[in-house]
């Protein structure tokens, strides 16, 4: 179904401000910050010890033990957010053509937590005693593959890794696939875990703010966080035909790259 109008009918999210959509919105509108002292990473030699770390997360509520042996934390977050978005959109995936439902995910790190663990085991135990199965969860495409696998999606699938713009770029590509008629429904969003690599990198760049940042306020850097957000996107005609609420319309997007500097934006805009 080709359509020039694409709408959003489902939203799923898990992050430091909430383990699901309603929790997130309640905390954000109440001014509750998710930026707090970090517990999962040793930050003694780093520039900051605060981050948007997901607290009180119990993976066994969402996955079996067998599934957890195969799912990196980032993949878990992506699947949880995707399931919530599909539920809100009222989709019965079992009654849809799986080859017409796709997923696009943006991520900077993918399964980097597993990569960190393997590297640490290699350094402390030696290569022969490092657990090779961790490398199966490490590649950057694993969160997107996990969403497709657990939801049974066989349509267009892609991973975008364009740093901070990855999630937004994923939405744009999903829209293009819908407008061109290459898919009937798309799940699109972004996911990233907290890991030592990113903390070390931003500390070396002197870009990590030592204190919690506030929106629209001056800061001495940025705060890192973790989580996932996924949207269900579909042509307006299909949403109206299904009789589901339209949350928003995706009017368009733009992409640019000024090639000014690897980490700094062009001060001229």
For 243, the domain range is 8-94+111-138+187-213+221-249
Residue 73 lies in a domain: yes
Q: How far apart are CA 220 and CA 202, in angstroms?
A: 12
Residue 31 lies in a domain: yes
Residue 204 has what pLDDT?
A: 86
Burial class (CB in 10 A: 0-12, 13-18, 19+), 45: exposed
The CATH number linked to 123 is: 3.40.47.10
Residue 263 has what pLDDT?
A: 73
Residue 41 is classified by DSSP as S
Please state the three-class secondary structure of 85-148 as a single string: HHHHCCCCHHHCCHHHEEEEEECCCCCHHHHHHHHHHHHHHCHHHCCHHHHHCCCCCHHHHHHH
Residue 166 lies in a domain: no
Residue 206 lies in a domain: yes
Residue 126 lies in a domain: yes
Give the count of domains, the chain: 1
**How many H helices and E strands in the chain?**
8, 8
Residue 206 has what pLDDT?
A: 87
Residue 82 lies in a domain: yes
Residue 103 lies in a domain: no
Residue 1 has what pLDDT?
A: 60
pLDDT tens, the chain, 269 aa long = 666 899 999 999 999 999 999 999 999 999 999 999 999 888 888 888 999 999 999 999 999 999 998 899 999 999 999 999 999 999 999 999 999 999 999 999 999 888 888 988 999 999 989 888 888 888 999 999 999 999 999 999 999 999 889 999 999 999 999 999 999 999 999 999 998 888 888 888 888 999 999 888 888 889 999 999 999 999 999 999 999 999 999 999 998 888 888 777 788 87
Residue 165 lies in a domain: no
């Amino acid at each position: 179904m080709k359509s020039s109008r694409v709408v959003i009918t489902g939203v799923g999210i898990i992050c430091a401000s909430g383990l699901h959509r309603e929790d997130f919105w309640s905390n954000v509108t109440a001014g509750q910050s998710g930026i707090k002292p970090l517990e999962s990473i040793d930050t003694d030699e780093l520039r900051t010890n605060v981050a948007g770390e997901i607290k009180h997360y119990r993976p066994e509520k969402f996955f079996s033990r067998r599934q957890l042996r195969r799912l990196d934390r980032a993949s878990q977050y992506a699947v949880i957010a995707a399931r919530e978005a599909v539920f809100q959109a009222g989709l019965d995936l079992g009654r849809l053509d799986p080859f017409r439902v796709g997923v696009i995910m943006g991520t900077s790190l993918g399964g980097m937590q597993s990569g960190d663990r393997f590297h640490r085991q290699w350094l402390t135990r030696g290569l022969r005693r490092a657990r090779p199965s961790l490398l199966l969860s490490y590649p950057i495409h694993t969160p997107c593959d996990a969403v497709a696998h657990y939801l049974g999606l066989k349509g267009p699938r892609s991973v975008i890794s364009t740093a901070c713009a990855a999630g937004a770029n994923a939405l744009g590509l999903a829209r293009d696939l819908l407008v061109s008629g290459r898919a009937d429904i798309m799940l699109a969003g972004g996911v990233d875990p907290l890991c030592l690599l990113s903390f070390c990198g931003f500390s070396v760049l002197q870009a990590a703010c030592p204190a919690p940042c506030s929106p629209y306020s001056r800061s001495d850097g940025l705060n890192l966080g973790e989580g996932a957000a996924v949207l269900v996107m579909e042509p307006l005609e299909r949403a109206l035909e299904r009789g589901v609420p339209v949350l928003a319309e995706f009017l368009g997007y733009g992409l640019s790259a000024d090639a000014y500097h690897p980490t700094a934006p062009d001060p001229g805009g």
